[in-house]
A = this chain, B = another copy of it.
Amino acid sequence: MVVASGPLVTFDPGGRILVAAAGQTLLDAAFAAGIPLDSVCGGRGICERCRVVVAQGEVEADDARGGRSGGEVLACLARITGDVRVEIPEASRIESEQILTGMERWDQILSTSEEVDIARPRAISTAAERFADGPLAFVLPLSLPPPTLEDSVSDAQRLARELLRQHGLRDVAVPVEVLRAAPSALREAGWEIGVVLVRTSVGHQLIDIHPAAEAARAFGIAVDIGTTTIVAHLVDLGTGRTLGASAAVNRQRTYGDDVISRIIHAGEPGGLERLRSAVVDQINVLIGSLANAHEIARDEIVAVAAAGNTTMVHLFLGLPPAEIRREPYIPVVVAPPTCPASQVGLRIHPRAIVAVMPGVSGWVGGDITADVVACGMDRTPELTMLIDVGTNGETVIGNRDFLVCCACSAGPAFEGGGISSGMRAAGGAIQRVEVSASGGFVYETVGSVPPRGICGSGLVDLLAELLRAGYMDRAGGLHLGSQVVREGPGGLEVLVAPAEATATGRDITLTAADIENLLRAKAAVYAGASLLALRIGMDMSDIDRIYVAGGFGAYLDIGKAILIGLLPEVPLERVTFIGNGSVAGAKMGLLAKATRRRAIEVSRKMTYRELSVDPGFMEEYVSAMFLPHTDCGRFPDACTTLQFS
């Protein structure tokens, strides 16, 4: 038996103890212990949300704020040197339930999806046909007749024969490692077993043998690897149910906010490996906290379906992304083969597999394919537009006959990135805001707790309300004289919630710089969507349906998103907010083979329009830097509401 050794870190309240690696940060250790500390800057010491108190022992603190017993440090900058006891103040803690927001939405959609329904078995006993078109991994019960002198085939042949007889499965590969353990596993279980099967690119593989009693447990992870945020869902592959979700800032942000700066960093010595391990470690931490919370052993997790843009997928798999950025913009791969989790570095079952949603090109990745299969626009005759308000700002237009897409760098503003009080849609995030009759703000937070920041949907509301109340002009300029606008250190700013009302004890504000960032982001998104429609000869009025994806939170006020010109103006009932379509599509891919097949068809069918070289792009972008737009002809109702002309 190997006994882990290293400094002991004790977290209060709760007293959870972790054996850490010397040099590990307290933030990493907290994640590893399943304690979701707040952090939005990717561990760079910028957001200052991961404050903890060193109660006993010492840490090495990079921020020159000391690290002595009794002192407050930023967990992300504090490195563990020996045994230490740490107190986590209420303000620095995100309750994991609070970041589940949005999970239920997709479980509802999934439960009505034909494909996933096929994949969801009612009972393990009728598993085979149910799994035929089903999940990436599953458990099958197998009752083997004990060998006799008359029936003396090898253990491997017996397994193969009964998989065929009892479940109709042929040519199931059994790796040597499984064979090594097979004789004792079969005999100790009295020949009544549960086998764990995974579906690789080339067929089924038997990755483990369990005694029958435990047979029913196989779990999967769906993960959206965003440039800014990583979201992981834990799924019971036997029932199709989502058990929990967890999210964190992509720690690659330490090396740059957008894909371009990450690609540049990957070209530096050791850069690719730093980026690879940053994202893989982060996913391991998310998986660890999910497993912890749901009392699941890591090796009961046997499959991962991942979606991300092409650069994120390259970094996740350790593939050099340099050529994506260099003409003629060639990725190493857009539809990676299913590969062993151990090769990727995920700490789950040693023979678990990772399937990555197929992408289209260097600039349109599997996250968009996932969005498309999640909203189902590839199966409808209706002309549909999908807008993913992520860091890369992708738009897809099409239906079951064609799909065309574009991307334009929008930045992380609507995920809370680069916004002084921005945060992802976790507990304490202001997700709805209104200007009340008295001229002040009323807001609603995720989890109905004191506010800690503003998430994407809150930012959309805030811009719309500032505009509607006349506190802000069409160019984003604030007006002094209203009760919520004041002089700040960097010019005029909006006081959204005063320090005494917040969980952090600090004012929650929106600065002029924040507004500038949001304007640039919304302009890029709108410009991409409208120019793509223009270039394929469509008018917005031709669009039957718009799906909006993005990390705004559980909720998005479509009317307000149109009011600020983030979305094109169409009748409200034509627009549906689908939240994180990428993780939803990945989850459907995890659960249904038909979805994975559809994703491949979508990725083959979709054509990419490079708008960054389109001479019309800058014009569209500049026109969209106004609220809702310079051309009120495109936003007639919004302009009427706002009394613009």
Contact = CB atoms under 8 A, between A and B. Distances in A.
Interface of A: 147-149, 151-157, 171, 173-177, 179-180, 182-184, 201-203, 317-320, 322-323, 327-337, 339, 343-344, 361
Contacts of A322: 183
10 contacts: A149-B327, A152-B330, A157-B333, A175-B339, A176-B337, A176-B339, A176-B344, A179-B317, A180-B318, A180-B320
A179 B328 contact: no
Contacts of A180: 317-320, 332
A173 B201 contact: yes
A330 B145 CA distance: 13
Nearest to A317: B176
A330 B147 contact: yes
A81 to B, nearest CB: 29
B330 A184 contact: no
A397 to B, nearest CB: 21
A180 B173 CA distance: 26
A253 B332 CA distance: 50
Contacts of A154: 330-334
A176 B323 contact: no
B183 A318 contact: no
B328 A176 contact: no
Nearest to A149: B328
Contacts of A332: 154-156, 179-180, 182-183
Which of A175, A327, A332 has the largest number of chain B CB atoms within 10 A?
A: A332
A577 to B, nearest CB: 32
A157 B175 CA distance: 28
List the 5 shortest-distance A-B pairs measured between CB atoms, nearest first.
Answer: A156-B333, A202-B202, A149-B328, A154-B331, A147-B330
Which of A171, A176, A323 has the largest number of chain B CB atoms within 10 A?
A: A176
Contact of A336 (B147, B176, B202, B203): B176
A152 B361 contact: yes
Given A175-B343, A180-B318, 10 more contacts: A152-B361, A155-B331, A155-B332, A174-B333, A176-B319, A176-B337, A177-B343, A179-B336, A180-B320, A183-B319
A182 B174 CA distance: 29
A333 B179 contact: yes
A232 to B, nearest CB: 20
Contacts of A157: 333-334
A343 B180 CA distance: 12
Contacts of A330: 147, 152-155, 183
A337 B183 CA distance: 17
A147 B331 CA distance: 11
B333 A155 contact: yes
Contacts of A319: 176, 179-180, 183
A173 B155 contact: no
A328 B148 contact: yes
A609 to B, nearest CB: 13
B320 A184 contact: yes
Contacts of A153: 330
Contacts of A201: 173
Nearest to A272: B180
A452 to B, nearest CB: 39
Nearest to A334: B154
Nearest to A320: B183
A184 B174 CA distance: 34
Contacts of A182: 332
Contacts of A336: 156, 176, 179
Contacts of A156: 332-336
A308 to B, nearest CB: 15
A177 B333 CA distance: 12
A337 B175 CA distance: 7
Given A155-B330, A156-B332, A329-B152, A183 B147 contact: no
Contacts of A328: 147-149, 151-152
A337 B171 CA distance: 11
